[in-house]
Structure 1
Amino acid sequence: MKKDFMFTSESVTPGHPDKLCDRISDAIVDRLLQQDPYARVITECAVSTGIVFLAARFEPNANVDFTNIARKVIAEVGYDRPDFNSKTCSILTSLEELPPDKIHNFDEKKLSDAQIEEIPVKNQVTVFGFACNQTPALIPLPIWFAHKLARQLDIARRDKILPYLAPDGKTQVGVEYKNRQPTRIHSMTIIASQNNEKQPNLDQLRHDIQEAVIQPALNDEAIHPDENTRIFVNPDGLVIGGGPSLHSGLTGRKNAIDTYGEYSKHSGAALSGKDPIRIDRIGAYAARYAAKNVVAANLADECEVQLSYTIGLSRPVSVEVETFGTGKVDEQEIIARLKDNFDFRLAGIIRHFNLRFLPSLTKGGFYQKLAAYGHVGRMDLELPWEKTDKAEVLKG
């Protein structure tokens, strides 16, 4: 196992076409669950020049205007150019009613343990959760830095610090490791789009990004760019407009950005656009919860939890742990403690995290807030799977 290496992760702003699709999909999930916490919905979205395509399967027990939700999200993200904006873009929908599902029409708050055991998953998936001690949020430093830069890039646009910026942006950060601990920033890349092709010019843009994005984003970090850090701002030149008119978008195409920046494994299944009955979404949250508590309990400096589910069963068919040589106790012992203290069953996860009711309890919706800057490692949101309330019991 390598101890000295460099690792690079990327992030994007909410205006990136893939993230725009994720947010539209999760805004629809929020709306259905606000009307009926037990609603079922699977939504996917695609965008391109002047067009949005929505494909949704849902139970017809709620009154939801899919088109209006999409237009509202597009406006909130900031697209107002003639080639793509909330008022004139065409929206095509393919809506299909799901048949009633008696098995998953349950009130998890009233279930006994035996009843929870009888509720199976309907998806076959292997999900991963990861945590490490590199950042306060217990996620890897490269994706932490990439998210901070992407967030600051969007703040510079929204707060009109750099009023010429367009919503679409990308960031990338490479970090050097010694003995599996981050030591310096090797390189950074920021791709910013702008509305006016004449102003600013490339030199001015690069100066502005350094002053208004890079410096404030990393000012409070222990590791800063040094004289040898390679910093690239729009290395291929100016990007005019950006967004769906430049490159298409699709729900679920940024799984690495949603999780651990490829530093750890992640499932191939999309996280956005699915109600809490989908184990391929909430199982990833449960795995993260377990991994984070292992690291918080100081059982390991790095921990990856793997949960494998098969159709028709309530529990994962396997629970595996990898600590990458950093474990303070045996991995099999960690697995045993996880099985004793965590409920990885579908209905148990829904109940423990209150997943069906969070959209109604959270101002502005809940799931759509996960569509940018990650579904894990968030310190700006109170996510139930980010708590470390199981650390003490895991210590044994």
Structure 2
Amino acid sequence: MASSMIFTSESVTPGHPDKLCDQISDAAIDAFLREDAGARAVVECAVATGIVFLAARFAAEAVVDLPSIARKVIASAGYFDPQFDARNCSILTSLVELPKTTREPPPKQFDEEAIEKGVAQDQANVFGYACRDTPELMPLPVSLAHRLARNLDHARRTGAPGLSPDGKTQVSIEYADGRPARIHSISITAAVAADGAGAELADRLRAMALETFGDDGLKPDARTKIHINAGGFYETGGPARHAGLTGRKNGIDTYGEIARQSGAALSGKDPSRIDRIGAYAARHAAKNVVAAGLADRCEVHVAYAIGRADPLSLSVETFGSGRLDDAEIAARLTRSLDLRPLAITARFGLRTRPAHAGDAGFYSPLAVYGHFGRADLDLPWEALDLVEALRG
């Protein structure tokens, strides 16, 4: 990251086709784990005009109605128009039930022997990141883009005429000396009619963009540019306009592309998948490093190999902001954390939380507005429980 630059991050509303797929996939994971904490499942989804395709491989002592889950997610996002209707869109499934002997052991049996046998099922490079841009220790561009996307969806749900469930927001932040200095520009893209009513709605969205950023941080100034449908007005949004796929919005899910991220999807995977839970563990590590005052910016990289429980390596990059050598910070993290897959699962309660999360689920809310820095959710990897150990 250059000390002076303009950086843009984006977010999308729950009705964006890719995010529909992420929500359906994670709602399915919640459903499997709610009934069977030992379930293993990978659920992927694709949507297009009038069609939903679900592919699932699972081993579970559970009965899960995947088409019904998909329809509930689509309805919640607000799709009831003729081109894509939650009630009558076609849902195709490809289901492979694996032997139940491949399920994970019950969480109460996560003793040392089980944890050592719980090896990574795939190769993975996972990354965690934290910085001092926001109180949640997240990069400011993606944090503000999420806030704007929430307000855009709220406007649709509270009666803004002409808005589609499908929307995208972008926020560009001007950095000076490595710190956010001003909001350079704001962009909102949403399906809006090109007639007079559409122009009126565009004015409303422009006003909403200005009101989104209050007194708790940077606000738009006289030079901030606000773009509403800069690519032109369009009336049709959602899967009728562009197809969607699980795992295609990794930058939105993580750090707005200001930091490295794995190329693998986070959504649609149970906790046996190290590319998902390893990313949570790496974020936990990076956030605690910054909260402990050891660095202003920190990226943690953990490497895993198939068939091994212990990671191959843990490395830290503080981009010149560290109070200690990066190698010393990495050594403190290694002493403080057990990063074997089943140890991560046990520490964060990743198999038992869906049963106690209610109808909203534990994984489903992560599928929109990011998996990290979520002040609205009680996420175990956001806890600052390593601060004192790292300072020592």
Q: SS where residue 200 of structure 1 aligns? A: helix
Select 1:259's aligned residue among 234, 254, 257. Answer: 254
In angstroms, what is the RMSD of aligned CA positions? 1.4
Matches of 2:316 and 2:69, distance apart in 1? 40
AA matched with 2:130: A
- Residue of structure 2 equivalent to 1:294: 289
What TM-score, normalized to structure 2? 0.97
Once residues 2 and 72 of structure 1 are traced to their aligned partners in structure 2, the CA distance between those partners, rounded to angstroms, is 44
Q: Is the 8 A contact 1:156 1:163 kept in 2?
A: no
Change (3 A) 1:111 1:50: closer
Q: Percent identity?
A: 54
Aligned to 1:332: 327
- After superposition, residues 1-396 of structure 1 pair within 5 angstroms as 2-102=2-102, 105-160=104-159, 162-194=160-192, 198=195, 200-202=197-199, 204-211=200-207, 213-363=208-358, 364-396=360-392
Letter in 1 for 2:380: P
* Worse-superposed segment, 176-185 or 57-66: 57-66
Shift of 1:216: 3.2
> 2:229 & 2:375 partners in 1: Cα distance?
29
**3-state DSSP of counterpart to 2:37:** coil
1:336 counterpart SS class:
helix
Which structure 1 segments of 5+ residues have no match?
A: none
Cα deviations across residues 309-348 of structure 1 (Å, max 9, x unaligned)? 1011001101010000000111111011101111111110
The superposition leaves residues 83-109 of structure 1 with CA deviations (integer Å, 9 ceiling, x where unpaired) of 00111210000001123445x632333
CA contact (8 A) 1:7 1:175 kept: yes
Q: State the Cα distance separating 1:27 from its structure 2 match.
A: 0.5
More off after superposition, 281-290 vs 224-233? 224-233
SS at match of 1:282: helix
CA contact (8 A) 2:110 2:346 kept: no
Greater than 6 Å deviation, 4+ residue runs: none
Contact in 2 for aligned 1:108/1:347 (Cα 8 Å) = no
SS of residue matched to 2:260:
coil
Q: In the aligned structure 2, how far is the partner of 1:386 from the partner of 1:239?
A: 39
Is the Cα contact below 8 Å between 2:254 and 2:371 reproduced in 1?
yes
The count of aligned residue pairs is 391
User: How far apart in 2 are the matches of 1:81 and 1:220?
Assistant: 39
Q: Verify the 8 A CA contact 2:173 2:180 in the aligned structure 1.
A: yes
Displacement of 1:121 after TM fit?
A: 1.1
CA deviations on 1:161-199 (whole Å, 9 max, x unpaired) are: x143110000111111111000001111100224x5646
The answer to whether the 8 A contact 2:116-2:309 is kept is yes
Determine the C-alpha separation between the residues in 1 that align with 2:134 and 2:33.
33
